[in-house]
Amino acid sequence: MIRRRDWTVFALLSIAAAAVSFAPALAGRTFFWGDLTYLHHPWRALPAEMLQRGALPLWNPYIYLGMPMAAGMQSAVFYPGSQPFWLSGFATALPLFHWLHYSLCGVFTFLWLRSLGLARWASAAGAFSAMLGGPLVSRIPLLNHLSTLAYFPAMLLFGRRPVLLGLSLALAFLSGYPPMLAGAAAAAWLISRARFRTWVCAGALAAAVSACLLLPAAELMSDSKRGRGIESEEGLKWSFKARDLAQFTAPPLIPRGEYSPAGLWWKTAYAGISVWAAAGLGLRASGAWPLAYLGGVGLLVLGDSNGLSKWLWTHAPPLRYVRYPGNLAYLVVPMLALLVGRGLHRRRFAAGAAALIALELFAYARASQPTAPRSYFTDAGPMVQVLRQELGGHRYLISPLALMWERGLGPTADSASADLRQRLYGLTNMPYHLSSVCNFGEPLVLNASYDWMDFLFTRKGLDDASGWLGWADVRVVMTRDRLKSKRLEYLGDSLWQLYRNPGPASRAFWLDEKTGAELPEGLGGPAPDLSRAKPLSVSRPREDRFSVSGESKEPGWAFVSEPFWRGWKADTGSVFGWQDAVPVPALGAFQKVRVPAGAWSVRWRYDPWSWRLGCGLTVLVLCGLWAYWYNNRLRQL
């Protein structure tokens, strides 16, 4: 039960969260580094724009030749905590998002410790240690990590209340990082020692509540390479070594060059000197269980640095879906908070210790992440201007060497940050509606689209790939270094080396009966002759709708370089009216459909059954929960 004095602690936790979240905004700056720029900004900005103009964010045509948006878990389209991004610009919404989730983590931790019978200020100290420690501060650029971890203590608080636990699990899932949710849920069940049956019921409820995302995501995972797990070479990439265990101490005790929440976020796990001092007091009253738990986390984060940890990572099936052993350092957060609370329980100096913990951790957090001017997320830069002029609605192809390129525009941090954003690294093309064949950062890419991207990148130079560019509607190619080409027109150097495809490029082509029938389903061999194809008129009023129209003297085929993916429905219109069309796969990722003679039009709309069924189930369950709560309230009256 929340008491009146608890509200004082809530206010202090909120103020501490605000001090970390709003400090850059007060100076006219914003956090920007890493994933925040090239993943989380586009993930939040495009759906927000679509919602503001009344379009459901179901399909994203701007990356990887086009892919489902409603099924993308990390973009958190259906998460209620994303609302600040729907209502204001990204730089304005960002500190609100940070403040909300740091506050939630602190409040849930405090209430959990209070539910265990710990004193108020001892619980507050544990809450400050969880909210401002390294595992959460290092997640400032990783919005889906932060929002998922905010519900970690809620799972502990509601571990014996299936309805509230189920809602917490659902919110954590909708917030965008399921692997971290799975780890947090397993740890919460282990720490709380709650009944397994309670967690099974809560899990079923959470699945039903989040069905609007769960069903489309499951459908996408079934046709994505990442859905089969992560190769051990990639999954074990960032493992702790024995000396890295010092990362759990405090920044002053971490070896020089090893403390970097921005650069080495995956192993930034410090607790703080005052936190460890209080936790040491708690260990005396807790027995061997906390040490066994912390030792287990240590074994996991060591990854491939020793035989035992490596065996565990290569033989435990759930770990196939976890990227980077160091990423699991967040598992220490609730145990340390519990030890801090027990160590300061009924101590006269508990309030002073809580203040000391808050001040120490705030001192580490306040300058932990680099910042840029607030205009950073709205400045398009020269590359966007060039592509807007050159593309004309067509696609561009960017070199896979984007990951290995470091090129600054000047000597300052602001210049380097502009380079990261303005050369369209990651998904940064999305807010500008620039369509690309490939990108970096979206984990669940359609298999056929991924294979098309790999096929282009394995050609022997630009000229070998040029015959395929028109079929994928590629107008501009961007490479890191100047390459020789006899078939592509060199445009110059604008952050990238740019080349124009002078041949025909269109999102759709008309083919005669024989040529269309011979167009292969898959890739391989020489590129089909594009000179026998006639570009068609394509209209796209919104992301999940487009139509193709043309006129011909004889029946033929319409080839469309849009993904052949379940959920798209097509119908053909002619002088005889509209009738269902049956597209078939063509050239690996794309599709073709028969069209009649005369004037005709084919229209596509994205309307996946998984979205309809999932939304219906979510609404039905939420209505049932509301009716259950309302009836209970009537009985109490």
Please, which pLDDT band fits residue 590 given cuts at 50, 70 and 90?
Answer: very high
> Do 548 and 558 contact (CB within 8 A), yes or no?
yes
Domain architecture of the chain: domains with CATH: 6-31+70-372 (no CATH), 379-500 (no CATH), 508-606 (2.60.40)
Separation CA 160–CA 157 (nearest Å): 8
pLDDT digits (tens, 9 = 90+) for 167-211: 999 999 999 999 999 999 999 999 988 788 999 999 999 999 999
pLDDT digits (tens, 9 = 90+) for 418-430: 777 788 888 999 9
Strand order in the sheet with 545-552: 537-542, 545-552, 598-606, 568-574, 577-580
pLDDT digits (tens, 9 = 90+) for 416-460: 667 777 888 889 999 999 999 988 888 889 999 999 999 999 998
Q: Collapse the DSSP code of 389 into the 3-class scheme (helix H, G, I; strand E, B; otherwise coil) and give the result.
A: helix
Please, which pLDDT band fits residue 130 given cuts at 50, 70 and 90?
Answer: very high
Q: Residue 115: phi, psi to the nearest 5?
A: -65, -20
Cross-strand bridge partners of residue 600: 550
In this model, does residue 413 exceed pLDDT 70?
no
In this model, does residue 409 exceed pLDDT 50?
no
pLDDT of residue 219: 94
- Which residue has better confidence, 628 or 210? 210
Separation CA 388–CA 73 (nearest Å): 29
Separation CA 194–CA 158 (nearest Å): 10
| Two tokens, residue 257 | 């060059």
pLDDT of residue 411: 42
Average pLDDT along the chain:
91
Please, which pLDDT band fits residue 113 given cuts at 50, 70 and 90?
Answer: very high
State the sign of the Cα–Cα–Cα–Cα dihedral 191, 196, 202, 203.
Answer: positive
In this model, does residue 397 exceed pLDDT 50?
yes
Please, which pLDDT band fits residue 406 given cuts at 50, 70 and 90?
Answer: low
pLDDT of residue 416: 60
Residue 535 burial by Cβ neighbours in a 10 Å radius (0-12, 13-18, 19+) = middle
pLDDT of residue 556: 94
Give the percent of the chain with pLDDT over 90: 74
Q: Please state whether 506 falls in left (phi above 0), alpha (psi between -120 and 50) or beta.
A: beta
pLDDT of residue 34: 85
In this model, does residue 401 exceed pLDDT 90?
no
Separation CA 387–CA 519 (nearest Å): 30
Question: Could you tell me which residues come within 8 angstroms of residue 268 by beta carbon, excluding any fewer than 6 positions away?
Answer: 134, 135, 137, 138, 247, 259, 260, 261, 329
> Do 399 and 352 contact (CB within 8 A), yes or no?
no
Give the percent of the chain with pLDDT over 70: 97
- For residue 464, the surrounding DSSP H or E stretch is helix 462-469
> Do 261 and 369 contact (CB within 8 A), yes or no?
yes
- Which residue has better confidence, 402 or 24? 24
In this model, does residue 36 exceed pLDDT 60?
yes
**CA distances (Å), origin 388, targets 382, 384, 434:** 10, 6, 8
| Two tokens, residue 306 | 């020793």
Least confident of 31-40, 529-538, 568-577: 568-577
Separation CA 142–CA 266 (nearest Å): 11
Please, which pLDDT band fits residue 410 given cuts at 50, 70 and 90?
Answer: very low
pLDDT of residue 42: 95
pLDDT digits (tens, 9 = 90+) for 293-351: 999 999 999 999 999 999 999 888 888 888 889 999 999 999 999 999 999 999 999 99
Residue 340 burial by Cβ neighbours in a 10 Å radius (0-12, 13-18, 19+) = buried
Least confident of 510-524, 529-543, 550-564, 570-584: 570-584
Average pLDDT estimate for 580-593: 93
pLDDT digits (tens, 9 = 90+) for 271-281: 999 999 999 99
pLDDT of residue 407: 55
pLDDT of residue 195: 84
> Do 266 and 286 contact (CB within 8 A), yes or no?
no
**CA distances (Å), origin 542, targets 85, 389, 583, 617:** 20, 21, 21, 26
pLDDT of residue 421: 79
pLDDT digits (tens, 9 = 90+) for 469-492: 999 999 999 998 899 999 999 999
Separation CA 407–CA 415 (nearest Å): 10
